[in-house]
Amino acid sequence: MINEQSKVLVVDDEVGPREALRMILRDDYQVFTAEGGRQALEHIAREDFDMVIVDIRMPDINGIDLLEKIKLESPETEVAIITAYASVETATSALRLGALDYLIKPFDVISVKKIVEKDVKRRRERRELRQKLNKLKVDNDLLRGEIEKAYENIQLHYLETVNSLTAAIDAKDSYTKGHQERVARLAFSLGKALNLSEKDLDLLKQAALLHDIGKIGLSEYILNKKEPLSEDELNATRQHPLIGAKIISPVRSLQEVLPIILHHHERYDGKGYPFGLEAKDIPLSARISAVADSVDAMLSDRPYSKAKTIEQVNKELYCCRGTQFDPEIVDVTLKIGLQNLLRA
């Protein structure tokens, strides 16, 4: 039997059927009665009923209209219709509006009890299911928040590691000390001159700061070698954009800088590495980084060469216009002047 706390509302303008139902159900439920639709709605506004039994014909609001209002107000409440006859039309309207059962006058005690018990049970089960779902949703939200937080922490720690690796490269390669910062500054000025968006400028700067991160995988011997590199050593050096991209790949916030790191040694004529991409197939920011990277390398003392003057660098840029470098970027660089770009 259903818990006696379950509440049932009987709505009928005729005292006979109303009282009959109350008598049948009162041992098992808290039974409330209403003499019409309006009074029923007042009850429903105050109490949470498991089930409402509604007479189809009432003077103030008819049963079908009342059923519609109840379903609007409290969609989970079970509603059964009282009718003297089970017409197809009434059944269709009632079903469409969410009533699943009929109580046919005159009432048969056993079938009334059975229907009410079934409907109240259904309402209970639905309410329990909803509570479980709500709890699940809260647990799920909490869990998602915790996972998100943990993930952000991992990302942050990884980023810190990447930054300390950048510092480690500087320490490892005495000739390139400060190279990444200088490349970042020059790439940023060039990007600005080429009208890159704020977002792209920010990405370019981040990428330039990390562009040689893959050099962490190279030996100090190769990094500092004064003599020309052997074929094997050259091949090892050419792996650094790929190693860099691999180091960066787990960091979600660096996904957009990854292509710049990967392609900063591609050449405009397709003779670069690691993929031999050509012209506009190379991302613009990678083309800009390539120019900034080479300019800084030329202006610095290297194990194998002395620093060049600005004039020599200008000449070199012009010579490699359209071969190593994007001609448009070279033109902009020469037009503004390296000194101005380096000062910006």
Using CA atoms, how far apart are residues 234 and 236, in angstroms rounded to an integer? Answer: 5
- Asked whether the beta carbons of 120 and 51 are under 8 A apart, the reply is yes
- Cα–Cα distance list, 295 to 165, 185, 341 (Å): 23, 12, 11
Local structure of 17: helix, strand or coil: helix
Assign 3-class secondary structure to 150-214.
Answer: HHHHHHHHHHHHHHHHHHHHHHHCHHHCCHHHHHHHHHHHHHHHCCCCHHHHHHHHHHHHHCCHH
Q: Least CB distance from residue 217 to Fe ion, whole Å?
A: 12
- Tell me the H-state helices in the chain: 15-25, 37-46, 63-73, 88-96, 109-172, 179-193, 198-210, 220-224, 231-237, 240-248, 258-262, 284-299, 310-319, 327-336, 338-343
Total residues binding Fe ion (CB under 5 A)? 1
Q: Least CB distance from residue 179 to Fe ion, whole Å?
A: 9
Looking at the Cβ atoms of 32 and 188, the one nearer to Fe ion is 188
- Asked whether the beta carbons of 10 and 18 are under 8 A apart, the reply is yes
Q: Least CB distance from residue 141 to Fe ion, whole Å?
A: 44
Q: Choose the binding region for Fe ion from 131-139, 206-214, 283-291, 309-317 (rule: CB under 5 A).
A: 206-214
Candidates 212, 266, 296, 326; binder of Fe ion (CB under 5 A) is 212
Q: Least CB distance from residue 237 to Fe ion, whole Å?
A: 9
Looking at the Cβ atoms of 50 and 212, the one nearer to Fe ion is 212
Looking at the Cβ atoms of 173 and 212, the one nearer to Fe ion is 212
The tokens describing 55, both together, are 């007479």
Q: Choose the binding region for Fe ion from 149-157, 195-203, 212-220, 246-254 (rule: CB under 5 A).
A: 212-220
Local structure of 39: helix, strand or coil: helix
Residues linked to residue 177 through DSSP beta bridges, in sequence order: none
Q: Is 50 in the site for Fe ion (CB under 5 A)?
A: no
Q: Choose the binding region for Fe ion from 63-71, 181-189, 207-215, 268-276 (rule: CB under 5 A).
A: 207-215
Q: Choose the binding region for Fe ion from 13-21, 146-154, 204-212, 219-227 (rule: CB under 5 A).
A: 204-212
Looking at the Cβ atoms of 211 and 321, the one nearer to Fe ion is 211
Looking at the Cβ atoms of 64 and 290, the one nearer to Fe ion is 290
Looking at the Cβ atoms of 212 and 266, the one nearer to Fe ion is 212
Residue number with the shortest CB distance to Fe ion? 212
Q: Least CB distance from residue 329 to Fe ion, whole Å?
A: 17
- Tell me the H-state helices in 26-108: 37-46, 63-73, 88-96
Return the closest-CA partner of residue 244 out of 278, 207, 271. 207
The tokens describing 339, both together, are 């000194």
Q: Least CB distance from residue 291 to Fe ion, whole Å?
A: 13
Looking at the Cβ atoms of 51 and 292, the one nearer to Fe ion is 292
Looking at the Cβ atoms of 18 and 185, the one nearer to Fe ion is 185
Binding residues for Fe ion (CB under 5 A): 212
